[in-house]
Chains A and B, each alone.
Chain A
Amino acid sequence: MTTTPGTEYPFGPVPAAEAVEHFGRLIADRPMTKVTMPHGGDVWLVHRNRAAREVLSDRRFVREPFRTGERAVPFFVPFPDFLLGTLQFEDPPQHTRLRKLVQKAISPKRVREMRGSAVAFANELIDGMVARGGVRDLVREYALALPIEMLSSLLGVPSSDRETFERWSSSTLAVAGKSEEEVATDMAELAAYMTDLIARRREDPREDLLSALAHARDRDETLTDAEILPIAFILIVGGFDNTATFLSTGVLALLRSDEQRAVFLTDPDGLAATAAEEVLRHGGFATGRPAGGGGGLVPFVATEDVVVDGQLIAAGEAVSIDLVAAGHDPSVVVEPGSFDVTRTDNPHLTLSHGLHHCLGAPLARMELQVGLAELFKRLPGLKLAGEPVFNHDVLTQPMTSLPVSW
């Protein structure tokens, strides 16, 4: 394929402002680019926001061929087998059935009810940092601790087991620095623990997600342990690491922008919702780190020829969403390069859209809002006390340390 100069894709890290301009040229040039991934072959990566939404809403794009192993997932790394058994890779009608059961337990209403306890726990964490004083690591002492507490409480892990649950769950995280064997052992122990907990909740249900899923079989739906376990796993894998990264990124972005921090501090509670969306869309760029283009969500396969925004995606081809470009599409985002915590019209796709949109989205959003608002209300003078550390060995390059003082 020949490309117009300045619209190459993928492209390596450049200063964030240049990356935004690059995405603008790319989006003006074409709706999508076919890219050969390091594993699993070619995939169309859709850059334009409207075209991306179209793909995500079209049932002719499915994931079954990945789940059955008929074809490999085009991705940066060999796709982990245990994730292929999760909801992400189911299509309707099985997906619809499982998804509804889980979504009711992580519903907007349920998450609103959890908000009070998130606020209380965030403040406990801040109390701890204040009591210890000096330079604190915001990643370990705040951004990681908040989502794991919320996740344990959602799933229904008893408080006496939280410490071991946290150790197992954080095993796959970059900050843990564990060997493959150690991770495998931890995952096996976590699976055994969850299986036992599901059995206990079948006997003695509580007001939590595992109880709701275990007892779904008592109504017209039936869920086996083999179905519940992957749901618990995807929530742990997806809900913990990602939320922590968004929160650390949001804090760093605000610390890097005196102007936006001043705006946020005028009304942290009132601006938490728009600030959280802006962090999801553009937080990574606003931290001052270089940005590149070249990745996407987990792909789909076209079941027939489909034309999207003038481009033919042929039957059998894989297609994915370049969510970074879609969040910087000038036709739907005004001034995509500016970090604006008051932005109300913010149609980013960071948590995806459609059938497979982020299962934990209401929870992730709430945690991000609470995490940012409580921190800056309690510690308005929060400042960097050193340079943040990122793990470059991991695909998502998560922040592993953020030294702060106040």
Chain B
Amino acid sequence: MPKVFYTLPDGTERVVAAEPGDSVMRTAIRNGVTGILGQCGGELSCATCHVFVDERHAGEFPPVSEDEDDMLDVAATDREDTSRLSCRLVLAAGQEVHVTVPEAQL
């Protein structure tokens, strides 16, 4: 089973067991991880599931698409090199992912 480690803005960590094929966003929503809103449900039209992916996972996910890139530009918290929309981060069986939730999504 995949596992996601969410570091929240206050520094605390939440560890959640995920379903393979679910995204980091959907896993957060299903488990009530605060700070990830995912309001559009993964349609790349709200920029409210922004996360910073730990550098150790560089290359584990498909690259940022043009649409994702556009939305990251207009996220509430300024983007960084490690920024992703977590609806794009689909988990494989056994995968463990560490992400940091930004200060604000709105």
Contacts and interface: CB of A to CB of B under 8 A. Distances in A.
Nearest to A345: B32
A138 interface: no
* A: contact size bracket: 20 to 34
Nearest to B72: A109
A396 interface: no
B74 A365 contact: no
Interface in B83-104: 104
B42 interface: yes
Interface in A153-170: none
Contact of B41 (A56, A100, A344, A345): A56
Nearest to A276: B106
The CB with the most chain A CB atoms within 10 A, among B29, B40, B47, B67, is that of B40
A99 interface: yes
A174 interface: no
B43 interface: yes
Contacts of B15: none
Q: For chain B, which range describes its interface: under 10, 10 to 19, 20 to 34, or 35 or more residues?
A: 20 to 34
A109 B41 CA distance: 19
Interface stretch (A9-17, A245-253, A348-356): A348-356
A332 B30 CA distance: 10
A100 B73 CA distance: 13
Contact of B76 (A53, A112, A353): A112
A57 interface: yes
A378 B70 CA distance: 39
Given A56-B41, A109-B75, A100 B70 contact: yes
Nearest to A106: B74
B78 to A, nearest CB: 8
Interface string A351-383: 101110100011001100000000000000000
A68 to B, nearest CB: 22
Given A100-B70, A355-B40, A108 B48 contact: yes
A136 to B, nearest CB: 30
B86 to A, nearest CB: 15
Interface string A33-57: 0000000000000000000010011
Given A100-B70, A109-B74, A353 B39 contact: yes
A350 to B, nearest CB: 12
Nearest to B35: A344
Interface string A58-97: 0000000000000000000000000000000000000010
Contacts of B106: 108, 111-112, 273, 361-362, 365-366
A273 B47 CA distance: 18
B45 A100 contact: yes
B46 interface: yes
B82 interface: no
A99 B40 CA distance: 11
Nearest to A102: B45
Interface string A13-30: 000000000000000000
B74 A345 contact: no
Contact of B105 (A108, A353, A366): A108
A313 to B, nearest CB: 18
A110 interface: yes
Contacts of A108: 46-48, 74-76, 104-106
Given A96-B45, A108-B75, A362-B106, 8 more contacts: A53-B41, A56-B41, A100-B45, A107-B71, A107-B75, A108-B76, A355-B43, A357-B39
15 contacts: A53-B41, A99-B43, A100-B67, A103-B45, A107-B47, A108-B46, A108-B47, A108-B76, A108-B105, A109-B76, A273-B106, A345-B32, A354-B43, A355-B40, A357-B39
